[in-house]
Amino acid sequence: MTTGPQLPSAYRLVALDEIDSTNDEAKRLVEAGAEEGTLVWARAQRRGRGRRGQNWVSPPGNLYFSLVLRPECPPLQAAQLSFVAALALADGLGAFVRPPSEIAFKWPNDVLLNRRKVAGILLESSTTTSERLDWLVLGAGVNIVSAPAETAFPATSLRAEGCGPVTAGDVLEAFSRHYLAWSKRWREDGFAPIRQAWLHRVTGVGERVTVNLESEKWFGKFADLDRVGALVVEMPGGERRTVSAGEVYFGPQT
């Protein structure tokens, strides 16, 4: 175990040199009764993963962490915490990126820098019989010193973008402060201000998109984000459809 950054008192930091996956460790801890605010941080992961089980390359130097949350709300509402986390990451990275306006979002859970992926977010949860969450683990990875070379969507790192000597601890400290502020606003004011702030930074509105679902593929234009966080796609005939989960690719329709 290693020492870590200084976080606000709302967090309980579990700092590790290496782990299979911070999300898996956080789930092990939460099943053992870990309280909200438990934050697992590892310098490297052996089996890091992103959405849909995709491999997340996790060498030393980048940031990998998972936060235990116990939101008392239905799963659909809790999924909005992905947008909360994206806003916190953007504000945290804004302290190191010049100009901060180069930071943007890609639905549903990516943070971009100069239109390349610099961070990703993964939510995993367990529901109770009343359809309320028992717990939620919010995991994130941030490319600080390196980024994978062969990815479906181009990736980058803070170092590659000339952001200077930034450490994983620096970014984690910044995120932890901003997450407290954005999550407080979400709890008190609902999703509307989160949606508005996220749309202000999102990339691709009006652009052609391909949406890959479990059993079908859609082609259309990214039109909006609905009131609960689903992607709104305008189909070629003008019909609008919403997507709650799927892979979205921007660019010409093929």
Write out the DSSP string of 123-188: EEEEE-TTSSEEEEEEEEEE-SS---SS-SS-B--TTTTT--S--HHHHHHHHHHHHHHHHHHHHH
- Which pLDDT score is estimated for 226? 95
- For residue 113, tell me if it sits in a domain: yes
- For residue 4, tell me if it sits in a domain: no
Query: Same domain for 99 and 83?
Result: yes
Neighbours of 200 (CB within 10 A): 10
Residue after which a domain boundary falls, among 180, 201, 222: 201
Query: Same domain for 196 and 87?
Result: yes
Query: Same domain for 132 and 240?
Result: no
CA distance 162 to 86: 21
Residue positions counted in the chain: 254
- For residue 2, tell me if it sits in a domain: no
User: Tokens in use for 234?
Assistant: 């305008």
Characterize the bridge pairing of strands 12-16 and 38-42.
parallel
Q: Each residue of 151-185: pLDDT tens digit?
A: 778 899 999 999 989 999 999 999 999 999 999 99
Query: Same domain for 220 and 186?
Result: no
- Which pLDDT score is estimated for 41? 96
Q: What is the mean pLDDT of the chain?
A: 89
Neighbours of 195 (CB within 10 A): 18
In contact, 193 and 200? CB cutoff 8 Å: no
Query: Same domain for 102 and 130?
Result: yes
Gyration radius from the chain CA atoms: 18
Q: Each residue of 54-75: pLDDT tens digit?
A: 555 567 899 999 999 999 888 8
Domain count, the chain: 2
Query: Same domain for 65 and 137?
Result: yes
In contact, 88 and 175? CB cutoff 8 Å: yes
| CATH code of the domain covering residue 38 | 3.30.930.10
Query: Same domain for 130 and 60?
Result: yes
Query: Same domain for 18 and 89?
Result: yes
- For residue 170, tell me if it sits in a domain: yes
Query: Same domain for 153 and 35?
Result: yes
| CATH code of the domain covering residue 230 | 2.30.30.100
The boundaries of the domain holding residue 126 are: 12-201
H or E element at residue 90: helix 81-93
Query: Same domain for 228 and 142?
Result: no
Q: Give pLDDT < 70 ranges for the chain.
A: 1-4, 47-58, 128-130, 251-254
Which residues lie across from 148 on neighbouring strands? Answer: none
- Which pLDDT score is estimated for 175? 98
- For residue 3, tell me if it sits in a domain: no
| pTM, rounded to two decimals | 0.91
- For residue 157, tell me if it sits in a domain: yes
CA distance 156 to 187: 32
Amino acid found at 174: A
